[in-house]
Amino acid sequence: MTRMCLHRLVLRLTGAATVALAGSAVTNAADCPRQNALGTSRVLAVDAKTYPRVGLGSFPETVPLADHEVVLTFDDGPRPPSTEKVLAALAQECVRATFFLVGRSSAEFPELVRRIAAQGHTVAHHSWSHPMMSKIPFEQAKEDIDRGIAADELALSGVSTETPSTPFFRFPYFDSSPATLDLLQARGIIVFGADLWANDWEDITPKEELTNVIERLKTARKGIILLHDAQARTAAMMPGLLRHLHENEYRIVHLVPAVSAQKNAEVPIDVPTVTSFRAIKTLAE
């Protein structure tokens, strides 16, 4: 079958699959070796023009999620050994997340940045030194943002650039200024807040942290969840959280930038991952 014919078949089958799966929960990732894993339900490509700032804790809107859909995000890494434990828990359940990395940690542990990306997670940005941006001069804030992006990119690909391959940024402490918000919007970088969080920066036990998330999910029923992979308590809590999400029929949504998705994906974006290119290719043959 020619490449053009295969492409038409991809479009036809993925369109049908989107309709067929729109009302159902797809709880296994396409390539997950564990049939009973939580999995990643779908990939959602986010466009900076449509969603320049998301997260109801800071902004009026968030990413479009259905009831019982959640996005897992992690701040302040990479930091061994806790980041490695978080990655192991996610891999066990075939779950993909977004990691907002601190540049100086990326510079210290570049191999861990590459491991995050190699396991299919989204590498995003969280400044160089984790300052409160509204408390420092604008030029200093801009320099810290750019230096952090450059350090993350250098660790990821060996090329230092202030243009992020994934234009996702979260301000430390959710602390921004009108000038820094305008700066990132002008550069096409999406600013992430969160819809709910675990308060894992506080001196609490993993059990208390898990309770925080569970109770807040009961109210919100969906949303972007903020966690910190640099925290040992979060690493210890992750298996329990993933188990709770699975047992209560939550679905994991993996965020990617729209430009990257349109450029690299073999299938149209925002299609449940169960509709894999490999499966379609097999049918075509």
Give the residue numbers marked as catalytic.
Answer: 75, 228
Residues 6+ apart with CB under 8 A from 17: 271, 272, 274, 275
Q: Quick one: 90 exposed, middle or buried, by C-beta within 10 A (0-12, 13-18, 19+)?
A: buried
Q: Give the span between the Cα atoms of 209 and 197, in whole angstroms.
A: 9
Say if CB 20 and CB 244 are below 8 A apart.
no
Say if CB 160 and CB 153 are below 8 A apart.
yes
Q: Quick one: 201 exposed, middle or buried, by C-beta within 10 A (0-12, 13-18, 19+)?
A: middle
Say if CB 124 and CB 166 are below 8 A apart.
yes
Task: Name the token pair of 197.
Answer: 């969080």
Q: Quick one: 117 exposed, middle or buried, by C-beta within 10 A (0-12, 13-18, 19+)?
A: middle
Strands, E, within 10-146: which ranges? Answer: 42-46, 53-54, 69-77, 98-101, 122-125
Task: Name the token pair of 48.
Answer: 């900076």
Neighbouring CB atoms inside 10 A of 178's CB total 9
